[in-house]
Amino acid sequence: MLKVEYCKNRSLWMLVILFVLTVIAGCDNDTGKIGKPALKPVQSITNASVVSIKLGVVLPYSGPFAGYGEEGRQGIKLAVTEASEQFGERVNIKVLYEDSKGEGADAVRAFRKLADTDKVNAVIGEVLSSNTLALAPVADELKVPLVVPASTNADITRVGNYTVRICFLDPEQGIVLAKYAWDDLKIKRVAIMLDKGSDYSAGLAGAFKKAFAQLGGEVVGESVVGPKDPNIGPQLIQVRNWSADAVFLPLEYPRAAQIMRQAKNMGMKLTFFGGDAWSSPKLFEMGGDAVNGSYITAHFAPDSTKEAVKTFVENFEKTNGVKPSNMAALSYDAAKMIIQAAMTKNDASRESLRNALFAVKDFQGATGNITIKPNGDATKDIMILNIANNQFNYVKTISPVE
């Protein structure tokens, strides 16, 4: 203890007092160490601004439609990579993938696991309309936003209030296909080969048939193909006997490829056309050159000259070594839309995401400009692609009539 009587120099005493006060002022309140006055740690400030997004994905990764799942995964991974580069430490994204195996029951089990066990903030899924029709009421029950990349059946968003989709609908693409077949291809007589057990196939066939008849065209007959028929020969003979100008195949790519290959082997020379479910590179692997000369509706054209599309295609090719498919582009847009919604609100909670997704306007995606309607459907254009040299080639864009 310092005592005044031992300090013979008053100035020296004042210096001692100042030194002691300086030491006390420099003590850290938490540690007692000498240093600058304590501030709130920088890490705590950073953590407070980090948006953590846990994203679930339900797609087929095994079974006949596994190609869709892998293409979707590629698109989602690119969207997450770009978001991490854009937002840096402000965002933390984790993606959990579940295999629907192309079956509705498995899709529902996967969704419940992601929602109840993994506690995801939102789910991307599905591609098959039948599976998504099974998921939509579960999303409503569990109050988990479901963003649908590619299921086009009209009934999907009528089920509940937690489902939005970024693809166009079967009634829209049915009308566009009918108009293109009649106006541009000058087709007057069409045969339809469909799977009546598929919500996608039945819905698209019905929309096309009605629109084509209104334009003055004739549907000369409908031939039913089962999902596992090994031989389509009898149905193709039936179609040939109808003397159709063209054949409409509202089917998924594995079935469409099989039919076109078998038709070529039978010497049939017809124009084939179909919906967005053909738009996978697997179509070329399964159908060979038999698929060339056909037409489809699509959400995305890899040879588009739009800057947003060119940038997406370039980045996708650098990452994956192949051109992106429709499913890759749609899944990319779905992931980006969810991430953007979370970052805009600085909140990835389920309810916040649900509200933000239903409020999306003029989202500039790889598949075009997207605005979400009050019922959860998307407003967007539809593209026509021609298949030549085993490639999808852009032909034109058609805006569906509301």
CB atoms within 10 A of CB 107: 28
Span 263-285, mean pLDDT? Answer: 94
Give the contacts of 305 (CB within 8 A, at least 6 positions apart): none
Name the residue with higher pLDDT: 47 or 168. 168
Q: Specify the 3-state DSSP secondary structure of 99.
A: strand
Span 247-265, average pLDDT: 95
Percentage of the chain modeled with pLDDT above 90: 81
Report the pLDDT value the prediction gives residue 23, as an integer from 0 to 100.
Answer: 35
- Residue 271 pLDDT greater than 80, yes or no: yes
Q: What is the mean pLDDT of residues 165-180?
A: 95
Pairwise CA distance, residues 56 & 120, whole Å: 6
pLDDT of residue 1: 37
> pLDDT at position 386, please?
96
The confidence score (pLDDT) of residue 28 equals 37
DSSP designation for 113: I
pLDDT score of 400 more than 90? no
The more confidently predicted of residues 31 and 252 is: 252
User: What does the alpha-carbon distance between residue 187 and residue 137 come to, in Å, rounded to a whole number?
Assistant: 40
pLDDT given for residue 401 in this prediction? 62
Q: Which residue has the higher pLDDT, 59 or 281?
A: 59
Q: What DSSP string describes 27-66?
A: B-TTT--BSSPP---HHHHHHHH-EEEEEEEEE--SSTTH
Distance from the Cα of residue 59 to its chain's centroid: 10
**Percent of all residues in the chain with a pLDDT value above 70, rounded to a whole number:** 88
Q: What is the pLDDT of residue 308?
A: 87
Across residues 332-359, what is the average pLDDT?
97
Task: Please give the Cα distance from 253 to 127 (Å, whole number).
Answer: 12
- CATH number for 171-298: choose from 3.10.450.100, 3.40.50.2300, 3.40.50.880, 3.30.420.40: 3.40.50.2300
**On the CB side of 186, how many CA atoms lie within 13 Å of its CA?**
0
What sign for the dihedral angle of Cα 99, 158, 273, 197? positive
Distance CA 258, CA 227 (A): 11
Residue 16's pLDDT is: 36
- pLDDT tens for 280-299 read 999 999 999 999 999 999 99
The listed CATH number (1.10.274.10, 3.40.50.2300, 3.40.50.300, 3.60.21.10) that belongs to domain 51-168+305-381: 3.40.50.2300
pLDDT at 197 over 60: yes
Cα–Cα dist 186/295, whole Å: 13
Question: In the predicted model, what is the mean pLDDT of the chain?
Answer: 88
Higher pLDDT, residue 395 or 22:
395
What residue ranges do the domains of the chain occupy?
51-168+305-381, 171-298
Q: What is the mean pLDDT of residues 57-70?
A: 96
Question: 2-6, 132-136, 210-214 — which is least confidently predicted?
Answer: 2-6
| Identical fold, 51-168+305-381 and 171-298 | yes
pLDDT at 231: 84
Given a cut of 90, is residue 312 above it in pLDDT? Answer: yes
Q: What is the mean pLDDT of residues 338-350?
A: 97
pLDDT of residue 132: 97
- For residue 96, what pLDDT is reported? 98
Q: Higher-confidence residue: 162 or 13?
A: 162
Q: Residue 303, SS3?
A: coil
Residue count (the chain): 402
Phi-psi region of 390 (alpha: psi -120 to 50; beta: other; left: phi over 0): left
